[in-house]
Structure 1
Amino acid sequence: MLQIGDKVVYPMHGAGVISGIEKCEVLGEGRSYYVLQMPLGDMKVMIPADKAEHIGLRDVIPEARVDEVRDVLEDEPERLMGTWNRRYHTNLERLKSGDICDAAAVTRNLVVQERERRISAGERRLLDLARQIVVSELVYACDKSPAEVEVWMDDILAANNS
């Protein structure tokens, strides 16, 4: 059972802190919800406690795994072929996995692709979401501010001339 103060990752939204556990009645049924406070955008998300594992709620990575994320950002980008729509869905599926390394790879691939040619509006939104997911988790894993994490990521991605 998760507790108030636990730092967790909600796939497709990013990391946050459980700021409360509330009981709510929905359609006549009482349920407990985790109240997740996100560090970016001051967003609050409520997640049914009994569905947390099913939706992929997980602990934030330990600081020891941050080097793995850096390695992914530094790696040569994957060249996805096909229409923007096919690339979009491939990247979206990776983000849905909830794995920070997948989100970092999507970020890296789209940043490098954008350097070479314009990306579609859909891919731009996906890039913004992937960045937000990576930044939000690294904020907790590294105990840094969002701005510090963004500068760190941007420096790594700028050096990736693949």
Structure 2
Amino acid sequence: MYGAGVIEKIEEKEIQGQIQKYFVINIPINKMQVLVPIKNITKTSIRLVADTLSMDMVMDVFHQGETDTSLSWKQRYKINSEKMRSGKLREGAEVVRDLMRIQKEKTLNSSEKQMLENARKILIGELGLIKGISEVQATAMLIANR
């Protein structure tokens, strides 16, 4: 839910009287740093950044996939929330694609605007890391071929 990041280092910290080792993860798109206890890493929804081939397939779905416009905003919001919680790259890209398309036709409500902005940042962040490009270049890739 925070976006793509890079493990910068492993640190030992004492928090609430317990010394533990933590992954220090830098998340450039949100300009934040997250500490994740190493012993809890399997309990999180953290995944490896996708590879170039996977990202290319996701971008194809992003540009060519179909958008279901028959759903009410409540149904759409529920489905999109589940997709974002999944942490899957493709599902996040579908949320961005669908909300961007709907936004071209009508104004999104405030909840969907916020979801679009968050999902867009996450997608742009991972795209930038995978392709080795800037945030501006990754944004341009999203709006190309539209």
TM-score calculated relative to the size of structure 1: 0.83
Whether 1:46 and 2:61 are equivalent positions in the alignment is no
Equivalent in 59, 71, 88 of residue 81 of structure 1:
71
Which of the pair is proportionally richer in helix?
2
Identity of aligned residues (%): 30
Q: Secondary structure at the match of 1:89?
A: helix
Between the two proteins, the alignment pairs up a number of residues equal to 145
Give, in angstroms, the shift of residue 119 of structure 1: 0.5
List alignment gaps of at least 5 residues for structure 1: 1-11
Whether 1:124 and 2:113 are equivalent positions in the alignment is yes
Give, in angstroms, the shift of residue 80 of structure 1: 5.6
> Distance in 1 between the 2:46 and 2:111 partners?
26
TM-score calculated relative to the size of structure 2: 0.91
- What's the C-alpha RMSD, in Å, of the aligned pairs? 1.4
Whether 1:141 and 2:117 are equivalent positions in the alignment is no
Give, in angstroms, the shift of residue 48 of structure 1: 1.5
Q: Relative to structure 1, is the Cα distance of residues 44 and 115 closer, same or farther in structure 2, using a 3 angstrom cutoff? A: same
Match of residue 7 from structure 1:
none
Q: Which runs of 4+ in 1 moved over 4 A?
A: none
Match of residue 26 from structure 1:
15
Q: Secondary structure at the match of 1:52?
A: helix
Q: Deviations over 1:32-60 (max 9, x none)?
A: 11111112132111112112222121111
Question: Do 2:22 and 2:36's aligned partners in 1 also have CA atoms closer than 8 Å?
Answer: yes
Q: Deviations over 1:38-93 (max 9, x none)?
A: 121321111121122221211111111122111221212133623x3442232111
List alignment gaps of at least 5 residues for structure 2: none
Q: Relative to structure 1, is the Cα distance of residues 79 and 53 closer, same or farther in structure 2, using a 3 angstrom cutoff? A: farther
